Structure 1
C-alpha cells in the first residue's frame, strides 16, 4: 500500500515535468523563430538599403557621364546644322566636318527617314544603330527647328553610340551627328552595379540580384545573370508579399526548396534578396536544443535533490523510530525493574505462619 502511495506522487511529478517542458519548448520555439525571422528581415533591409543607395549613386554617375557625352554631340550637331557652307550631299565635305568636330560620323536623313548621305570614320554607320532610334521622335525634329533629339545607343558588343539629331538650316533634311565609344572604354568610364554585389558572399549574406525589364542584370551568383524573372517561382513568391522590404516565404528558381526573401524598388530597377530557411532558423534550432538540454539537466538535478531529500527524510524517520524504540525499551526495562523491586517488598509481609 505504501509503495502504491509513493508511485502516485511520482507519476504526478513526472506529468508536471512533461507539461512544463512542452509549454516551455513551445514558447522557446515560437520566440526563437519569430526572433530569427525579424533578425533576417532587419539584415536584409540594411543590405538592400545600402545596395540600393550605392546603385542609385552609380546610375546617377553613369547618367552624368552619358549626359555630358550627349551634350557634346548635340553641340556638334548644332554647329553642323548652322553651317551654311556644309554640302549635305557631299560625303567628302561631311568627312572634313567629321574630323573637325571629332565625330565618328555624320548621317543625312530625308523627311521619310531614309538615308541620303553619310560619312563615317570606322565603319560604324546609320545601319548599325538606326533601328534602335525612335523614328517618330527623330523625324519629329523636322517639325521643330530648335528641337534636338539625343540618345545613347548600346550595341550588341557592349559598345555605345551617342547620337544627336537636328534639322539642317533652310532644308527638310535631318542631320545625325554621332560618336562611337568602344566597349572597353564604356566599361572603364561607367561604374558597374555588379561590383557592389561582388562584395556580398552568397554563403553569408544570402543571394542578391538586380532586375531591369524582367532580366537579372547583376547578382552575387554569376549563374543568375541573364535569367528571366517573369515566370520565376522565386521572384513571384517574393512579390506575393505585396509590399517592399517585407520578408516572405518562397521557393527556389526551379520551384523546389524552402526560402525566405524580400524585394525593394530602386531608381530604375528592382533589388531582390533571398536565403535558405535553414540558415535563418539555424540559430533558433541551436537555442531550442540548448534550452531542451538545460531543462533536462534541471529536471535531473531536481530529481536528484528530491531523491536526496526523500532519503534524508527516510533516515530521519528511521532515526526517530530507533530513538522511540530505545526510549520504549528503556521505559519497559525500568518498568520491569520497578515491578521486580515491588515484588520483593510485598513478598515477606504477605506470608503467614500458624501454631
Structure 2
C-alpha cells in the first residue's frame, strides 16, 4: 500500500517559508529605512555643526579685524605725528643732515627718519634694522606720497609688509621749507606683529577636532588658520597630505553649506565649506564616526525587530502547542467517549442478557402455576368450587405473567438495566397468599408443602411495586421449592417490625428445611445465578 503525499503539511511548509521570507524582506526594508533616516539625521547634524563653525569664524573675524585695524591705525597716527614733530624740529634747527636725523630718531624712538626731495629722491636719512630708504624707495615714490610735497596740508600714512613678513609703518609730511618730504618709519618684525595682533588661529582654540572635525581657514589660497596642525613658523601652516587632499576634494565636490562624502585613499570624510568675509572655511571629519552611529541605529532596529519576530514566533509556537494540546485533549475526550459508548453498549447488552436470564427464570414460576391449576381443574371437572378456585389462581398467576411480559417489552429499561417502581396500595396479606397459591402446584409435584404462615397485620395495606415484590418472593420461594427435598416444606411469613420515623416496616421470611448451603457458598450468595452443586 502506497501512502498519498501529505499536501496539508507541504502547504503549511510553503506558508512558513513565505512568512520567513516576508519577515526577512521587512527586516531589510526597516534596516534600510532606519539607516537612511539615521544617515540623513547625522549629516544634517554635521551640516549644522559645520555651519556654526563658519558663522563663528565670520562673526569673530569682524571683531578681530576691528581690533587689529584699531591697533594698526593707532600706530600709523603716532608715526605720522612723529614725522610732523621731526619736520618742525628740522625747521627750527635749520639742519637735515644724517647726524641730526639720527638724534631725532633716538628721541622719537623710531626705526628711521628719511628726508627726500619733492620727487622722492633721498636727501638724508637715519635708519637701522636694514629698514631705510633703500628698502622703501619704491613705496616712497608712489603718487600718494609725492602728493604730500605738492600739497603741504596733506599727510600720508601706511603699513607696508616687507619681504620677510615684517611691517613698516610710515608717516609722511611736507617739509616746512617746501623742498621735500619728511618720512618717519617704525619697523616691527613678523613675530612682533603676530604678538601684537589677534590671529584667526586663536579662533580655533576652542574647537576640538573630535567635536567639530578639522577646520581649515584660507585667504588668497593660503592657510591662515587650522586646528589640524601647529604652524611651522608663525603664521605659516603646512597641511599634511591627507588634509590637503580632503580640502581639495571639498573644493571640487561640495556646494557651500552642503555636506558631501570625500574619499582619500579609501578613507571617507564628511566635509563642506563656507565663506566668511574674505576667508574660506573648510570643515571636515572622518565619516567613520557618523557611519558608526548609523550602524548602531541599524543594529538597534534589527535587534528590536528580531525581538519582535522572536516574540511573535514564541507566541505562535505557544499557540500551536496549545492548539495541539487541545487537539490531543479533544482526541482523548473523543476516545474516552468512544470507550464510554462501547462500555455503555456492552453494559446495555449485559443488562439485556441479565434481564432476559432473570426474566426467563421469573416467567417459569407463574407458567408452572397456571399449568398446575389447569391440571387440577381437569382432574376435578365436576367440582365447581375447585374449578372456581383454580380459575382464580390462574387469573392471579396470569396477571403476574402479564406484568412480567410488559416489563420485558419495555426496551428502554431493558437497555439501561434500571428498575422502574410503580408504587400502588397493596394488601400485604393477600399478596403473600397469592405467592403461596402460585407455588402450590409446583410444590405438590415435588412433594413439598407450602405453608403460608400469615398473621393479621396492624397495617395490612402499603404502597409497593407489586410486580417486583412478587418476582422477588417467587424467585426465592421457587428456588426453595425446587431445591428442597421430598417431604420438605417452605414457609412464607410477612410481619411488621419496629417502625422507622413512624413509617411501618415489613419483614418477609422464606424458610425451608432443605439441604441448606455451606459456609463457603454463602460468600457467593448474592452473585447472579450462582448455585452450589
Question: Is the structural similarity TM-score above 0.5?
Answer: yes
Residue in 2 that maps onto 1:263:
273
TM-score (norm 1): 0.84
The whole-number CA distance in structure 2 between the counterparts of 1:39 and 1:250 is 17
The whole-number CA distance in structure 2 between the counterparts of 1:25 and 1:227 is 43
Q: CA deviation at 1:112?
A: 4.5
Residue in 2 that maps onto 1:32:
38
Q: CA deviation at 1:156?
A: 5.1
Choose 192-201 or 237-246, whichever is displaced more.
237-246
Give the counterpart of 1:281 among 291, 313, 323: 291
1:320 maps onto 2:326 in alignment: no
The whole-number CA distance in structure 2 between the counterparts of 1:270 and 1:172 is 48
Residue in 2 that maps onto 1:220:
227
Once the two structures are superposed, the pairs formed by residues 10-159 of structure 1 within 5 Å of their partners are 10-81=16-87, 84-85=91-92, 89-130=96-137, 135-155=142-162, 159=166
Choose 83-92 or 15-24, whichever is displaced more.
83-92
Choose 99-108 or 19-28, whichever is displaced more.
99-108
Give the counterpart of 1:164 among 168, 171, 181: 171
1:39-81 deviation digits (Å, cap 9, x = unpaired): 1111222233234333332222122111100011112223344
Contact 2:161–2:167, Cα closer than 8 Å, also in 1: yes
Once the two structures are superposed, the pairs formed by residues 220-259 of structure 1 within 5 Å of their partners are 220-222=227-229, 225-227=236-238, 233-239=245-251, 244-251=256-263, 257-259=267-269
1:335–1:256 Cα change, 3 Å: closer
1:293 maps onto 2:303 in alignment: yes
The whole-number CA distance in structure 2 between the counterparts of 1:258 and 1:187 is 36
Q: CA deviation at 1:27?
A: 0.9
1:235–1:183 Cα change, 3 Å: closer
Give the counterpart of 2:180 among 148, 161, 173: 173
The whole-number CA distance in structure 2 between the counterparts of 1:132 and 1:249 is 48
Aligned residues: 349
Q: CA deviation at 1:18?
A: 1.2
Q: CA deviation at 1:161?
A: 1.9
In structure 1, runs of 5+ residues without a counterpart are none
The whole-number CA distance in structure 1 between the counterparts of 2:64 and 2:35 is 43
Choose 268-277 or 152-161, whichever is displaced more.
152-161
1:84 aligns to what SS in structure 2? Answer: helix
Q: CA deviation at 1:280?
A: 2.5
1:258 aligns to what SS in structure 2? Answer: strand
Choose 63-72 or 201-210, whichever is displaced more.
201-210
Residue in 1 that maps onto 2:455:
none
Contact 1:106–1:119, Cα closer than 8 Å, also in 2: yes
Residue in 2 that maps onto 1:6:
12
Residue in 2 that maps onto 1:309:
319
1:213-236 deviation digits (Å, cap 9, x = unpaired): 21001211226753599xx65344
Contact 1:88–1:108, Cα closer than 8 Å, also in 2: no
Q: CA deviation at 1:194?
A: 1.9
Residue in 1 that maps onto 2:344:
334
Q: CA deviation at 1:315?
A: 0.6
Contact 1:111–1:172, Cα closer than 8 Å, also in 2: yes
The whole-number CA distance in structure 2 between the counterparts of 1:344 and 1:220 is 112
TM-score (norm 2): 0.58
1:222 aligns to what SS in structure 2? Answer: coil
1:76-103 deviation digits (Å, cap 9, x = unpaired): 2233445534667511232233233332
The whole-number CA distance in structure 1 between the counterparts of 2:35 and 2:140 is 59
